[in-house]
Amino acid sequence: MVIVMAPEATQDDVDAIVELVGTAGGEAFVSRGVSRTIIGLVGDIEQFSSLNLGGMRGVADVMRVSTPYKLVSRDNHPERSTVWVGGVPIGPGYMTLIAGPCAVETPEQTLKAARMAKAAGASLLRGGAFKPRTSPYAFQGLGEQGLQILAEVRAETGLPVVTEVVDAHDVELVASYADMLQVGTRNAQNFALLQAVGAAGKPVLLKRGMSSTIEEWLMAAEYIAQRGNLDIVLCERGIRTFEKATRNTLDVSAVPVAQRLSHLPVVIDPSHSGGRRDLVLPLTRAAIAAGADGVIVDVHPNPEQALVDGPQALVEEDVAELARVVREFPPLLGRTLT
Amino acid sequence: MVIVMAPEATQDDVDAIVELVGTAGGEAFVSRGVSRTIIGLVGDIEQFSSLNLGGMRGVADVMRVSTPYKLVSRDNHPERSTVWVGGVPIGPGYMTLIAGPCAVETPEQTLKAARMAKAAGASLLRGGAFKPRTSPYAFQGLGEQGLQILAEVRAETGLPVVTEVVDAHDVELVASYADMLQVGTRNAQNFALLQAVGAAGKPVLLKRGMSSTIEEWLMAAEYIAQRGNLDIVLCERGIRTFEKATRNTLDVSAVPVAQRLSHLPVVIDPSHSGGRRDLVLPLTRAAIAAGADGVIVDVHPNPEQALVDGPQALVEEDVAELARVVREFPPLLGRTLT
Amino acid sequence: MVIVMAPEATQDDVDAIVELVGTAGGEAFVSRGVSRTIIGLVGDIEQFSSLNLGGMRGVADVMRVSTPYKLVSRDNHPERSTVWVGGVPIGPGYMTLIAGPCAVETPEQTLKAARMAKAAGASLLRGGAFKPRTSPYAFQGLGEQGLQILAEVRAETGLPVVTEVVDAHDVELVASYADMLQVGTRNAQNFALLQAVGAAGKPVLLKRGMSSTIEEWLMAAEYIAQRGNLDIVLCERGIRTFEKATRNTLDVSAVPVAQRLSHLPVVIDPSHSGGRRDLVLPLTRAAIAAGADGVIVDVHPNPEQALVDGPQALVEEDVAELARVVREFPPLLGRTLT
Amino acid sequence: MVIVMAPEATQDDVDAIVELVGTAGGEAFVSRGVSRTIIGLVGDIEQFSSLNLGGMRGVADVMRVSTPYKLVSRDNHPERSTVWVGGVPIGPGYMTLIAGPCAVETPEQTLKAARMAKAAGASLLRGGAFKPRTSPYAFQGLGEQGLQILAEVRAETGLPVVTEVVDAHDVELVASYADMLQVGTRNAQNFALLQAVGAAGKPVLLKRGMSSTIEEWLMAAEYIAQRGNLDIVLCERGIRTFEKATRNTLDVSAVPVAQRLSHLPVVIDPSHSGGRRDLVLPLTRAAIAAGADGVIVDVHPNPEQALVDGPQALVEEDVAELARVVREFPPLLGRTLT
């Protein structure tokens, strides 16, 4: 931790900080510059946080120099992790395709979508039974009935199921059906939910908040990890920017950046970031090429009748090209499709 | 609702839409332009939503021309509303100052802060017992013990209490102590929580999500209203932008914009938006001058020891100036301090 | 300047930096933390910049702790400055209203707008003869003919003229007519233009780039100052964010922040930030209340026929209220309308 | 063009618009909805723009439904274009690597960098002689001397030269040395410069403004095209967002989006968007996979001594991997390295 003093700070101000840090069991090193004095702190950073150093007289800025997350940080766990979901790996050396309908609507639609997913090379099935919607008047998902449909389709196709949970108190229910729990972008800082999925004993797909920095995203993962669950897969799904041509802006740089900061696997959702079907295949290719450990894609047998996000779903005629992409690109990066 | 056809759309594509709209009980008016054809729809917009018109062949864009919220819209309720909290009004003609500590830490600190608030002209006390924090290692609030402290300080000072609730399943507990429930910026799209506070029978202070558009903010209010609670006060608290000099960028234009779109009162939080004590008074003045119905401010008797957000709290020596501001500016706008 | 070493940095990496800094005439203070080593540098920062310390082995981050601008910084010039334009002051203690048409269209329109401006309390006339437009098909201004109209209207009304220059090679021409040169938001990093207006011997109104940080804005001012011209007035005019209800988001916090960092006066443009007439008066009040040294407003006798930005111009019926606002609010802040 | 009337608009308001549009030679189709009336306009859109319809009484919104650019639009030129630079093609079917130093510093450094570029597979040499810098105290480039060095290195290596021009009045000089003129991100709306390069008779590499929407970027290209020059290559180089881990956020979706809207080739700059060497290769792969027509990369023989942007340059040991990437990925997309 580094403290930058204001130009008008006095010697007394500096001394007060050195003393305070000392009483907290740390050491303070003072460097006097031409225009500014800086103080480097050595010791337990959590303890310094509680000192409220930023509130001391003469302090212009307090800069953290180490990461605020620990369990998910690569600093303490240099090897990248692999997370297993119903026997399917997500991690280095693999390319995992997760596909399925945005929302579970009927058994037929879900089964057809699962078969499209499988034909495209998917080893995991996505599908939402609980849907967080901006409008209270929009379709909110089938709830437990949707979970049952997913379980039936899993039995039929053999694909383990990834599905979203939106309320801490539904975690147990959803976990009883799902192979992997998804936390959506609107819940990226719903800390009660993060803690609940951390305790549920199932792998978690953690979407980045649409306006979360990468650091905040990793802090959200830390909430889950702190409850004893390190089976977390990070999912970049587009961030909110000024650009209006796409629903969100896919931050493809987040893949190498997050992989460098954290040992957790990182996948990309090219469907929700772009919000447009014609962008899904280009962004899928970009995601794989950037080094993503997997891709999660919406497919729908009949998107013009979809109750949620129809315009972004891949359709039957896209399946062959998606299959080609996930088969041909990963080997160039030393990866194998799971 | 307006449908814009792609340049390459055929007559058949247009006919298909006209027919579909007709079967849904609506009417479609076709205008053929030089480069584009547009179709204006007349009828029940909710019904059109479920048609997934954006997924039809030849459609380039679907534009909504009426607001997606109804209960909170000023279209259907032209007069601006006043919300009463423990006998204190927030609404047109009034200026309501809400003040107190960011977090409840001890009975003494809370009482002192409440007295500072009162001296500054506040008629409502703010104070957090449940704190949503980015880091799982940060102080998360005193919980129910904090609520008890708030109740005691209310008894001592007569100030009704505004306090945050972060989990749908704590709503009943918090509502049993509080006069007004606060929904924080990180929960702006926690729909389960919005629905729960909508059913709690207490007024709600709804903070704008730090990356919510004004429309999304009003949709969040609609979630609350839909459960039968129209005692909602909107609170602008800064949005996320590229600027780094302030924690968030206070969107002061949101006051007149939201007041034009919705009949609900709008207040401003100048403490959390700026994140810096030296900005609180200038932003408080700007908020009042822009026409806000109230201001919510952090005060702390001892901010250098605050467990949360100390650097932004006003201190004893700011109280007189805050009192002057909330007394002298509102009359220029035809408002009276409550 | 502070250097943060990567966790894997070796003693040799640290030694190499200490030695390099020494050869450049500086001193390096090493603080070894539990997880990170930091090095504080003391000496001439410009010299350190050319060392490319960020490229050295083992370096994770290089953090500047002093401001990169000097001439416009308040560090070296604690007293706030007043800039005089044709005998009219802009600075502490004053409130200066600048008003006029967005674009000069005809002598009649410009004269009428100038009279509206004067009736509202303006002491300076704005009006564009050179207009930077996003579309090459849009009206680009009358050029020199527009400057002549402005000069005639100045003769008629006595109002000194503020007008934009968009090309370095027009600076001399524009300066021969104008009392103050405006640099627009799209030219905030047009360094050739900044240098040319710096050498022109006329005061400059420097608009913030719509996506410039406050630091970049002050760096742009530094370009002007470096050519010997410190008669610079900073103008906040809205920044680009995700919000779509307003054309740009007025960053009202920029007023106190920029006034704290720089000694230059700061004014606000409430017309271009909001892009909507109904926001101009609320934002004018907010600007004054936040402590702005002035406000620059579009007025038009006939906005429905305006060639540029008609929807945001104040009209005849707004003049009385604008006059009231600029007369009644400034005294509460110890300011007098010029 | 579609006009949305406010809920309170009267029949007279609607009639006034219909009449006005008629006098301008257009036709207006009125659709009366339950809550809103909309009017679809058919005719010459440029003429409607000058009517200032947004300023008419009762108008809530005016929505354009066709693109505001024409010459660069794919609507009128469905086939994608190929731009030739000194005999090297950029366009569909090709993958063009442009590489070289960010800034020309010495003949030796430039020659070495050019050889690295060639070894990596580049067919064009980049290098800046005029550098737009945020700080007036930073190295601004060698000017004409830098252009001479580039010409010598071209003679030596056979690589045609791409170099930036920052002032309209330098265009002739720069064009006399360069094979392709670059317009940088800070000049994305420097209209005088855009017009000057449009008239210079050389191909142009047009970087997207760091806060330009894709539409504004295409409007900037339209400025160049309007002067008779359609040899324009669009270059995405990262946009400004709230994320701080990268200098800018590479908007990889801009590749398919811009290629769909415009017939011009689109390339990506992975060096300036990320600002970090470790991101250059992942983003290069992502760019190619997304369908970019080319990539422009910084390389430097000695980045720790670079005067500009050293931390983002690829170094000698990256050359082999860059060569592999530009050789192996393009064939999967039906492209050949030029």
- At B85-138, the pLDDT tens digits run 999 999 999 999 999 999 999 999 999 999 999 999 999 999 999 998 888 888
The letter for the amino acid at A115 is R
Share of chain C above pLDDT 70, in %: 97
> Would residue B329 count as lying in a domain?
yes
Q: Give the confidence band of B45 by pLDDT, cuts at 50, 70, 90.
A: low
**Same domain for D120 and D40:** no
* pLDDT tens, residue by residue, A175-212: 999 999 999 999 999 999 999 999 999 999 999 999 99
Tell me the two tokens of residue A39: 């103080």
H-assigned helices in chain C: 11-23, 45-49, 107-120, 144-157, 171-177, 191-198, 214-226, 254-261, 270-274, 277-290, 319-328
Residue of chain A minimizing CA distance to D275? A253
Q: At what angle do helices D277-290 and D319-328 cross, to 10 degrees?
A: 10
**Same domain for B247 and B102:** yes
- B100: helix, strand or coil: strand
> Would residue B76 count as lying in a domain?
no
Under an 8 A CB cutoff, do B52 and A310 touch? yes
Distance (Å, whole) CA C303 – CA C295: 20
Based on the number of CB atoms within 10 Å of its own CB, is B312 exposed (0-12), middle (13-18) or buried (19 or more)? buried
* pLDDT tens, residue by residue, D118-147: 999 999 999 999 998 888 888 889 999 999
List C residues 205-224 in contact with D (Cβ-Cβ < 8 A): 210-211, 216, 219, 222-223
Distance (Å, whole) CA D327 – CA A331: 15
Instruction: Supply the pLDDT for residue D34.
Output: 65
List C residues 264-303 in contact with D (Cβ-Cβ < 8 A): 303
* pLDDT tens, residue by residue, B69-78: 999 999 889 9
> Would residue C238 count as lying in a domain?
yes
The letter for the amino acid at D284 is T
Buried b / exposed e along B243-255 (16+ C-beta atoms within 10 A) = bebbbbbbbbbbb
**Same domain for D239 and D206:** yes
> Would residue C6 count as lying in a domain?
yes
Buried b / exposed e along A221-242 (16+ C-beta atoms within 10 A) = bbbbbbeebbbbbbbbbbbbbb
Domain count for chain B, please give it: 2
List A residues 44-63 in contact with C (Cβ-Cβ < 8 A): 44-45, 61, 63
Chains in contact with chain D (at least 3 beta-carbon pairs closer than 8 A): A, B, C
The residues, ordered by sequence, that sit 6+ positions from D110 with a Cβ below 8 Å of its Cβ are D100, D101, D104, D127, D149, D150, D153
* pLDDT tens, residue by residue, A64-107: 767 789 899 998 899 999 999 999 999 999 999 999 999 999 99
| Chain D residues close to B242, C-beta within 8 Å | 240-242
**Same domain for A304 and A216:** yes
Greatest Cα-to-Cα distance within chain C, rounded to the nearest angstrom: 75
Distance (Å, whole) CA C177 – CA C164: 11
The letter for the amino acid at D100 is G
Kind of pairing between the strands at D94-100 and D124-126:
parallel
The residues, ordered by sequence, that sit 6+ positions from B10 with a Cβ below 8 Å of its Cβ are B58
Distance (Å, whole) CA C294 – CA C269: 9
**Same domain for A238 and A331:** yes
Flag whether pLDDT at D292 surpasses 70. Answer: yes
**Same domain for D235 and D165:** yes
Q: What is the ipTM of this complex?
A: 0.90
Q: Which of D295, D315, D274 is nearest to D116 (CA)?
A: D315
Under an 8 A CB cutoff, do A307 and B68 touch? no
Flag whether pLDDT at B33 surpasses 80. Answer: no
Is there a contact between C309 and C282 (Cβ–Cβ < 8 Å)? no
> Would residue C179 count as lying in a domain?
yes
> B141 to chain A, minimum CA–CA distance in Å?
13
> Would residue A70 count as lying in a domain?
no
**Same domain for D148 and D100:** yes
| Chain C residues close to A29, C-beta within 8 Å | 29-31, 40
**Same domain for B180 and B293:** yes
Under an 8 A CB cutoff, do D211 and C210 touch? yes
Other CB atoms within 10 A of residue A141 CB = 23
* pLDDT tens, residue by residue, D37-88: 888 877 766 667 667 787 788 888 887 767 789 899 998 899 999 999 999 9
| Chain B residues close to A303, C-beta within 8 Å | 52, 55
Q: In what order do the strands lie in the sheet with B2-5?
A: B27-32, B37-42, B2-5, B59-63
Mean model confidence pLDDT for chain B: 92
What are the Cα distances from residue C121, in Å, to A64, C94, C181, C280? Answer: 49, 13, 21, 15
Residue of chain A minimizing CA distance to C241? A242
Which CATH number do you get for residue D235? Answer: 3.20.20.70
* pLDDT tens, residue by residue, A161-178: 999 999 999 999 999 999
* pLDDT tens, residue by residue, D214-240: 999 999 999 999 999 999 999 999 999
C23 touches chain D (CB under 8 A): no
Chains in contact with chain B (at least 3 beta-carbon pairs closer than 8 A): A, C, D
* pLDDT tens, residue by residue, C229-243: 999 999 999 999 999
Residue of chain B minimizing CA distance to A306? B52
Under an 8 A CB cutoff, do A283 and D328 touch? no
Residue of chain B minimizing CA distance to D33? B42
DSSP string, A222-252: HHHHHTT---EEEEE--B--S--SSSSB-BT
What are the Cα distances from residue D118, in Å, to C173, D110, D156, D298, D310? Answer: 47, 12, 12, 13, 20
Distance (Å, whole) CA C161 – CA A319: 64
Lowest mean pLDDT among A224-238, B183-197, C64-78, D207-221: C64-78
> Which stretches of chain C drop beneath a pLDDT of 50?
none
> Would residue D76 count as lying in a domain?
no
pLDDT greater at residue C1 or residue B290: B290
Which CATH number do you get for residue C26? Answer: 3.30.70.1140
* pLDDT tens, residue by residue, B151-189: 999 999 999 999 999 999 999 999 999 999 999 999 999
Size of interface B-C (CB pairs under 8 A): 123
Instruction: Supply the pLDDT for residue C138.
Output: 82
**Same domain for B302 and B198:** yes
B192 touches chain A (CB under 8 A): yes
Q: Which of C165, C137, C148 is nearest to C110 (CA)?
A: C148
* pLDDT tens, residue by residue, B13-30: 999 888 888 887 778 878
| Chain D residues close to A244, C-beta within 8 Å | 213, 215
Mean model confidence pLDDT for chain D: 92
Instruction: Supply the pLDDT for residue B308.
Output: 79
Flag whether pLDDT at B276 surpasses 80. Answer: yes
> C153 to chain D, minimum CA–CA distance in Å?
25
Q: Give the confidence band of B64 by pLDDT, cuts at 50, 70, 90.
A: confident
D25 touches chain B (CB under 8 A): no
Q: Which residue has the tokens 């009484």?
A: D57
Under an 8 A CB cutoff, do B253 and C283 touch? yes
**Same domain for A109 and A10:** no
Expressed as residue numbers, the domain containing A133 is 83-337
> D169 to chain C, minimum CA–CA distance in Å?
8
Residue of chain B minimizing CA distance to C213? B243
Based on the number of CB atoms within 10 Å of its own CB, is C155 exposed (0-12), middle (13-18) or buried (19 or more)? exposed
* pLDDT tens, residue by residue, D150-177: 999 999 999 999 999 999 999 999 999 9
Interface test with D, best of C47, C53, C134, C278 (most D CBs within 10 A): C134
**Same domain for D157 and D57:** no
Under an 8 A CB cutoff, do A66 and C35 touch? yes
Q: Which of A243, A245, A288 is nearest to A270 (CA)?
A: A288
> D207 to chain C, minimum CA–CA distance in Å?
15
A2 touches chain C (CB under 8 A): yes
Instruction: Supply the pLDDT for residue A7.
Output: 80
Q: How many residues are given for chain A?
A: 338
Q: Give the confidence band of A138 by pLDDT, cuts at 50, 70, 90.
A: confident
> Would residue C78 count as lying in a domain?
no
Tell me the two tokens of residue B306: 């605050």
What are the Cα distances from residue B163, in Å, to A239, B99, B143, B157? Answer: 30, 11, 11, 16
**Same domain for A118 and A252:** yes
> D338 to chain A, minimum CA–CA distance in Å?
20
**Phi-psi label, residue B93: left if phi above 0, alpha if psi -120 to 50, beta otherwise:** left
Q: What is the H or E stretch that residue D236 is in?
A: strand D232-236
Instruction: Supply the pLDDT for residue D29.
Output: 79
Share of chain A above pLDDT 70, in %: 97
